Chains A and B, each alone.
Chain A
Amino acid sequence: MARYFLLRLADAIPTIWLVLTLVFIAMRILPGDPAIAALGDMALPEQLAAFRHKMGLDVPLWQQYINFLIGVLSLDFGQSYMNDEPVLNLIAANLPYTIELTVAAMIIGVGAGVPFGVLAATHRDRLPDSGMRVFSLLGYAIPDFYLGALLLIGFALNLGWFPINGGGDGFMDRMYHIVLPALTLALVKAAFIGRLTRTALLETLGKDYVRTARAKGAREPRVIYRHGLRNALLPLSTGMGLSLLATLSGSVAVELVFNRPGLGRLLIQAINERDYGIIQGGVVVFALLVLLINLVMDLLYIVIDPRIRVKS
């Protein structure tokens, strides 16, 4: 297991390098000058030149690339142009908000999606199943930012039940602030996971061993949860992994609409202002998170289905 884990980690290195290089190139191809973005269009040439020198933007591109890679190896993404603060500090301050939002959305999404899916599968072609279908369609069709705005208007503006913006201070306040953003992201998750649960469960419920269990007199809840759902876990966990990745990327729009601190909001601001350090650092962190999630999912497969362990 440990060897498998290490091998997978080693596999990730070229991917990370590729991501780093692509981000570096993309930032330099993109039109726009970070010096003008940082100092404003009224800045004088000597001020712009001094800024470029301070930020290491006046050396040849290849040298900037080498400096960048060396920096990354020592976990140093340089200074932010906007805040004149180490990029790593800014990422460290914002990342927890994105992670807690993603986790909360997943808990709500899975918590609602799995029971919905079970209900739909066990009431196939009846009212709960049709309801599930409508719910899924809605979930897929409504964009995050639009749903977020609707929830804001309904529950925060009109009813005043939840805060309008911010991330909150202290544990309870943070939990209070996270409800609407997490619900926004969770609706799509619940729709996706619900559909997936229904399909996977229907497939397993049609298998011979389920018929055998029923023939042996097992009660229906036991048949569904122990024989059906448990065996549907593998496709379901793949779906959850994908869903987790989608939640992570969906957090960008939600952080903007709800004015929450977070890596997504930080990145959007950095892109507008051509803040290379934050963009590079932020994308690398996002990439690392994606790789980590994939790795955890792979390891989970082994736990869920021992046959994979034998093969690997």
Chain B
Amino acid sequence: MNLRRRQFLELSAATAAMSMLGPALARAASDPDTIRIGIAANGPRTSDPNYTTQGGDNWATEQMYEQLVRPDDGTFATTPDQYRPTLATEWSASSDAKTWTFKLRQGVQFHKGFGEMTSEDVVFSFKRAMADGTNKPILSNIADVVATGPYEVVITLKNSDVNLLGTSIFLNNTAVVSKKAVDQMGAEKFKTDAVGTGPYELTRFDSKWGTALKRHEGYWGEKAKVAKVESVYIADTTARTLALLAGDVDMIEAVRAPGWVDSMLQRDSTLQFDMTSPGSFNTLHINLKRKPFDNIKVRQAIMYAVDRHAVAEAMKPMGGFTADLQPESFPGGFKTEDLPPDLQYNYDPEKAKALLAEAGFPDGFDFDSNVSQREDYASIMLIVQEQLRAVGMRMNLHIGDHTAYHADNQHDKNTLALHSSSYPPIPTQLYVQQLSTKAEVKPDGTGGINYSHYGVAMPGIDDLLAKALQATDYKAYVDYCRQIELQVLRDLPLIGMSTLSFTVARNARLDLGYKVQSGYARWRFHHATKKA
């Protein structure tokens, strides 16, 4: 075919015009019978809830498995009375909170014809998680799990735990799996062909692509409205964003960087954003073994120099302010105005300078610190660097690879170590992991993530923590936690820098059926509906 110049121009003009039409002409809206989510990772690692270490894998396990109890959709149960019956219909605890009895729901069917769930499966699931799971340390307080009938299980603890439902029952690892399926398939195969009781069951596990689920027709509760769920793994941010804009996926895990939500809304103003509050806790560990940070006045100067509201604002709408370590919506958390005036630490650079002068640094000082190049880490620490510089604390910030950063922190090589982790509303988990003496970081890497050496370099909160962990009354538990918060604000080994919501961008065709307010970084689709 001879293409004449005129024809060529016409063809070019037509192509250009089509490209101007934009996403409206993009491929037909994806299948209304499938919810597809773009996960920010390269591929699934396991579908066994006992072994997930990669957050994205939990999107599938959340649909496939259930625990004995769970909170309302889109929330965290901040107090024990907020848990709802799930695989257990009722439960009770002894007065010392050491013996817990659960009555099981009858007639619950496992996926793929593996039969009815009984107490044998529950005992098996707990013992498996206690012996070899990713949350083994948390479950180490369980002394035994015994079946006292086909539909009754008794859990006995070594120490009281008024928060058992939150610490150990509503956990990924203690989701109930089919004993028969594990025995039949073998533990290895079960990792990619797992069998639970949830509203969806696994149909495909492809380490190069993702996972596919279909509705569990034998589900005990209200059956899922959308027939299929697919988790597609798209690590690259651009590729993931384009997949959402093109309608290839219905929702994607967001990039937690300043301005990301606004830039997405500019491209498509109909997008919806689901955010958990609080999300991750960004805590800043001050190494008490590094001079001059062993001086309380220097640490107080940091508190007055850093505008924590500005840090949260910079990450908006994902960022959240915390007056202490726990956000105010969690047990143990304070509002600024409820704190004693000397512990409110309202932004005051002049006071910071004065404190530095009192500490013997009228001209400030220079120091080195490391940070990960991951967007959330680097953004926060660059803001902190600027604010500290304004009062004379000149931080020479080394930005490095995320994996290397964590390895360095674990070998006690940092001065101000930012740490991001998600916690349920169980305040003691943060204290145990980041403030207790037994979690102190060690230069050889064998320690925990108490990077400040709190409790060793200076007396810490170990006694209060022990009391909180032994409490048999929930009110007393919360009270001890609040005392810990106040002591940490006095000693300042750890600063609650901001929270950062876990965020998902979703097209408006998909309606979850509830509002996401808080919770773990995954949500259920059993009430979701989707328009074509």
Residue numbers of A with Cβ under 8 A of B are 30-33, 36-42, 44-45, 47-49, 82-85, 90, 93-94, 97, 149, 152-154, 156-160, 163-167, 256-259, 261, 265-266, 269, 272-274
Contact = CB atoms under 8 A, between A and B. Distances in A.
B193 to A, nearest CB: 14
Interface residues on chain B, size class: 35 or more
A41 B406 contact: yes
4 tightest CB-CB pairs across the interface, nearest first?
A31-B404, A261-B208, A32-B403, A160-B27
A259 B239 contact: yes
A42 B209 contact: no
A157 B268 CA distance: 13
B403 A33 contact: yes
A90 B45 CA distance: 12
A259 B41 CA distance: 10
B433 interface: yes
Contact of A265 (B42, B404, B419): B42
Interface stretch (B229-237, B311-319, B463-471, B472-480): B229-237
B406 A163 contact: no
Interface stretch (B72-80, B142-150, B240-248): B240-248
A269 B42 contact: yes
B410 A33 contact: yes
Contacts, number: 132
Given A160-B27, A165-B242, 20 more contacts: A31-B407, A33-B410, A33-B445, A39-B134, A41-B410, A41-B419, A45-B447, A47-B137, A48-B446, A83-B207, A93-B207, A152-B238, A152-B242, A158-B18, A158-B19, A158-B22, A158-B25, A164-B242, A265-B235, A274-B403
A251 B242 CA distance: 20
Contacts of B90: none
Contact of A45 (B22, B236, B406, B446): B446
A42 B235 contact: no
A48 B53 CA distance: 13
B406 A36 contact: yes
A142 to B, nearest CB: 15
Contacts of B513: none
Contact of A273 (B209, B403, B421): B403
A165 B449 contact: no
Contacts of A149: 238, 242
B448 interface: yes
Nearest to B446: A45
A36 B448 contact: no
Contacts of A165: 232, 234, 239, 242-243, 248
B532 interface: no
A269 B235 contact: yes
Contacts of A160: 25-27, 246
A96 to B, nearest CB: 11
B232 to A, nearest CB: 7
Given A33-B403, A36-B407, A45-B447, A259 B236 contact: yes
A21 B46 CA distance: 32
Contact of A166 (B136, B209, B448): B209
B449 A42 contact: yes
Interface in B264-279: none
B21 interface: yes
Contacts of A265: 42, 235
Contacts of A154: 19
B302 to A, nearest CB: 23
Nearest to A161: B27
B242 A156 contact: yes
Interface of B: 18-19, 21-23, 25-27, 42-43, 45-46, 53-54, 134, 136-137, 191, 207-209, 232-236, 238-240, 242-243, 245-246, 248, 400-404, 406-410, 419, 421, 433, 445-449
Contact of A257 (B236, B406, B447): B236
A85 B447 CA distance: 29
Contacts of A97: 208
A259 B235 contact: yes
A194 to B, nearest CB: 20
A104 B173 CA distance: 45
7 contacts: A36-B406, A84-B45, A152-B239, A157-B246, A259-B240, A261-B208, A274-B403
A144 to B, nearest CB: 13
Contact of A157 (B46, B242, B403, B409): B242
Given A256-B236, A269-B235, A156 B407 contact: no
B53 A38 contact: yes
A41 B209 CA distance: 26
Nearest to A255: B236
A144 B348 CA distance: 49
Given A157-B242, A157-B245, A165-B243, A42 B403 contact: no
Contacts of B21: 158
Q: Which of B45, B191, B232, B407 has the most CB of A within 10 A?
A: B407
B208 A41 contact: no
Contacts of A36: 403, 406-407, 410
A44 B448 contact: yes
B422 to A, nearest CB: 10
A84 B236 contact: no
A157 B239 contact: no
Contacts of B246: 156-157, 160, 164
Nearest to A40: B53
A167 B27 CA distance: 18
B26 to A, nearest CB: 4
Contacts of B243: 164-165, 259
Nearest to B26: A160
Nearest to A44: B137
Nearest to A33: B407
B248 A256 contact: no
A154 B53 CA distance: 37
Nearest to A261: B208
Contacts of B19: 154, 158-159
Nearest to A145: B238
A49 B137 CA distance: 14
A41 B409 contact: yes
B23 A158 contact: yes
B407 A32 contact: yes
A84 B22 contact: no
Contacts of B232: 165-166
Nearest to B403: A32
A272 B402 contact: yes
A31 B136 contact: no
A249 B446 CA distance: 39
Contacts of B26: 157-158, 160
A257 B235 CA distance: 9
Contacts of B408: 31
Nearest to A274: B403
Contacts of B449: 41-42
Nearest to A256: B236
Given A41-B410, A47-B136, A83 B235 contact: no
Given A36-B406, A165-B243, A82 B238 contact: no
A149 B54 CA distance: 27
A304 B243 CA distance: 46
Nearest to B27: A160
A100 to B, nearest CB: 14
Given A158-B25, A256-B235, A39 B447 contact: no
Contacts of B421: 41-42
